[in-house]
Amino acid sequence: MTDTAELSLAGKNSEYPVLSGTVGPDVVDIRKLYGATGAFTYDPGFTSTASCRSALTYIDGDEGVLLHRGYPIGELAEQSSFMEVAYLLLNGELPSADELGKFETTITRHTMLHEQLATFYRGFRRDAHPMAVMCGVVGALSAFYHDSTDIHDPQQRMIASHRLIAKMPTIAAMAYKYSVGQPFLYPDNSLSYTGNFLRMTFGVPAEQYEVHPAVEKAMDRIFILHADHEQNASTSTVRLAGSSGANPFACIAAGIACLWGPAHGGANEAALNMLHEIGTPDRIPEFIARAKDKNDPFRLMGFGHRVYKNYDPRATVMQKTVREVFDALKVSDPVFETALRLEEIALNDSYFVEKKLFPNVDFYSGVILSAIGFPTSMFTALFALARTVGWVAQWNEMITDPDQKIGRPRQLYTGPTQRSYVPMSKR
Ligand code: SDX
C-alpha cells in the first residue's frame, strides 16, 4: 500500500503518491500536480526538491553521513583508492583485483590528449585562471571524439566516460604547466593515476621526477573525498545538460563552469585566500563579526552547507590529512593554526551553532594542496578533476533512468501582463 499526500487547493483536493527510497526522506511524487491543479510548486534552489532517483551517493546531513554505493566515505578514504572508488561509482560494486587491474589499465591507456588539443592552451593568456582553461579545453574535447557521442549506446557511453576520467589529470596538469611557462609532460603509464598526475604537474623534462609516496597517498585521498556528492549544483548542471542529449564532453564542461563558483567548488580557493587575509588568530574576531553582519556580504568560506547541518565527514578526513602531509613533508604552515582556531571560535559562537554552520570539504583542503605545492588558483581545477568521476557516473545513471526526460522547470511569472506595442512617436 503506497502512502499518499493530499493537497487542497482552490477548494479542490488531489492526492499524490509518496515514494520511499532504501534510506533517507520519502518523496511526494508531484508529476501530476500541474495537470490536477493548474498550479506549479515553487522551490528556488531546490531546497525541498528531489530531481531524480539515484543509487550512487547518500548523504544524511543531520548525522554527517556520506555513503558511496553504501560504503562510508571514512572507510573509502582510509582503505580504498581513487581508481577503486571510480570503479565503484560507475559499476555499483567494489571490483575484484582483476577487475580493478583491467579498469586501471583502460584508464591509463586514455590519459594522452589528441596532439591538436595542446594548441588550445596557446590561445589563453598565461595568467588565465585554470578553471577558464579547463572549461575551454574540456569543451573542446567534444570536437575530437565523434566515435563516442551516441549516448544511447552503452559502449560509446563507457568509452566517453573512461576518456573523461583519464584525461582530466592531463588537462589539469597542462593548465598548471601553461600558467608557469613550463613544457607539458606526457603521461607515464608506469605510474598510478595520481602519481602520473603529480609527475605531469611538478616534473620537468630536465630531470627524473620521484613521486613522494605520502603526497601520492594524500592526493589520492583528496580525490576520493571530492569524487561525488549527490545532486549538488555542478552535478545537477551535468544532468540537466545531459537531459537534452548533449555531447558528454560538453556536459562535463558545463559542470566545470558551475563548480567554479565560490559558493560551490570555488570555495576551496576562497577559503585559503580568506585564511591568508585573516593572517593571525588575533584578527579572527573581526572576520567572525563580518560573517555575522547581515549588511556585509562576507561569508566564512569553507563553512556551511546546503545539506550538512553537522560536521562534513570529508572535512574530518581532510583535517587529519593535513597533519599527515605536514609530518611527511616536515613542513608547517601558520595558516593551519589560524584555520583550527577559526573553527574552534566559530563552533562556539551561537550564530554558527544555531545556523548549523560547520566546516565543509573546502575548509582544510587548500592548506594541504598549498603544502603539496599547488597555487591557490589550481584548487578548484583539482576539485573538477576528482568530481569528473561523479559527474560521469551521474550522467550515465541519468541516461539509463526510465523516468528521465529533458529537464524543463517552470516559473512564477511576475512580469507585465499582455500590452500593445508603443510606436516611438508615442513614447
Ligand atoms: C561545496 O552541494 C554540495 O554537495 C556541494 C559540495 C559538493 O561536494 O559538491 O559539498 C561542495 O560546494 C561545499 C560548500 C562550499 N561553499 C562555501 O564554503 C561558501 C560559504 N558557504 C555558504 O555560501 C553557504 O553555506 C552555502 C552556499 C554552502 C550553502 O548555502 P545555503 O544552503 O543556500 O544556505 P543559506 O545561504 O541560505 O544560509 C543559511 C543561513 C543564512 O543566514 P540567514 O539568511 O538564515 O540569516 O546561514 C548563513 C546565511 O547567511 N550562512 C553563513 C554561511 N553560510 C550560510 N553565514 C556566514 N558564513 C557562511 N559560510
Protein residue with least CA distance to atom 42, ligand 1: 355
Strands 57-60, 27-28: pairing is: unpaired
Tell me how far the alpha carbon of residue 391 lies from the centroid of ligand 1, in angstroms: 21
Protein residue with least CA distance to atom 13, ligand 1: 264
pLDDT of the residue at 423? 98
pLDDT of the residue at 123? 95
Helices 193-202 and 82-91, interaxial angle, to 10°? Answer: 130
From 222, 305, 345, give the residue whose CB has the most ligand 1 atoms within 8 Å, as the site to mutate: 305
Residues 6+ apart with CB under 8 A from 197: 169, 172, 173, 219, 385
Protein residue with least CA distance to atom 32, ligand 1: 306
pLDDT of the residue at 1? 58
Tell me how far the alpha carbon of residue 291 lies from the centroid of ligand 1, in angstroms: 12
Residues 6+ apart with CB under 8 A from 115: none
Helices (H), 128-266: 130-141, 154-180, 193-202, 213-225, 233-242, 248-259
Protein residue with least CA distance to atom 41, ligand 1: 355
Protein residue with least CA distance to atom 1, ligand 1: 264
pLDDT of the residue at 145? 86
CA-CA-CA-CA torsion sign (197, 201, 205, 207): negative
Ligand 1 atom having least distance to the Cα of 232: 2
From 299, 311, 389, give the residue whose CB has the most ligand 1 atoms within 8 Å, as the site to mutate: 299
Ligand 1 atom having least distance to the Cα of 226: 8
> How many CB atoms within 10 Å of residue 115?
7
Q: Tell me which residues have their CB closer than 6 angstroms to ligand 1.
A: 45, 229, 232, 263-265, 267, 291, 299-307, 355, 357, 360-362
pLDDT of the chain, 427 residues: tens digit per residue: 579 999 999 999 999 999 999 999 999 999 999 999 999 999 999 999 999 999 999 999 999 999 999 999 999 999 999 999 999 999 999 999 999 999 999 999 999 999 999 999 999 999 999 999 999 999 999 999 887 789 999 999 999 999 999 999 999 999 999 999 999 999 999 999 999 999 999 999 999 999 999 999 999 999 999 999 999 999 999 999 999 999 999 999 999 999 999 999 999 999 999 999 999 999 999 999 999 999 999 999 999 999 999 999 999 999 999 999 999 999 989 999 999 999 999 999 999 999 999 999 999 999 999 999 999 999 999 999 999 999 999 999 999 999 999 999 999 999 999 999 999 999 9
DSSP string, 261-320: STTTTTHHHHHHHHHHHH-SGGGHHHHHHHHH-TT-----TTB--SS-SS--HHHHHHHH
Residues 6+ apart with CB under 8 A from 312: 64, 305, 358, 359, 360, 361
Tell me how far the alpha carbon of residue 319 lies from the centroid of ligand 1, in angstroms: 20
Ligand 1 atom having least distance to the Cα of 312: 10
- φ, ψ of residue 135 to 5 degrees: the values are -55, -45
Q: Could you give the residue numbers annotated as active site?
A: 305, 362
Answer for the pair 377, 130: CB distance below 8 angstroms, yes or no: yes
In the block, cell 556580504 appears at 297
pLDDT of the residue at 244? 97
Tell me how far the alpha carbon of residue 294 lies from the centroid of ligand 1, in angstroms: 14
For the whole model, what pTM was predicted? 0.96
DSSP string, 17-33: EEE--SSS--EE--TTH
The grid coordinates of residue 142 equal 567534444
Tell me how far the alpha carbon of residue 61 lies from the centroid of ligand 1, in angstroms: 13
Instruction: Report the distance separating Cα 363 and Cα 101, nearest Å.
Output: 34
From 65, 67, 73, 355, give the residue whose CB has the most ligand 1 atoms within 8 Å, as the site to mutate: 355
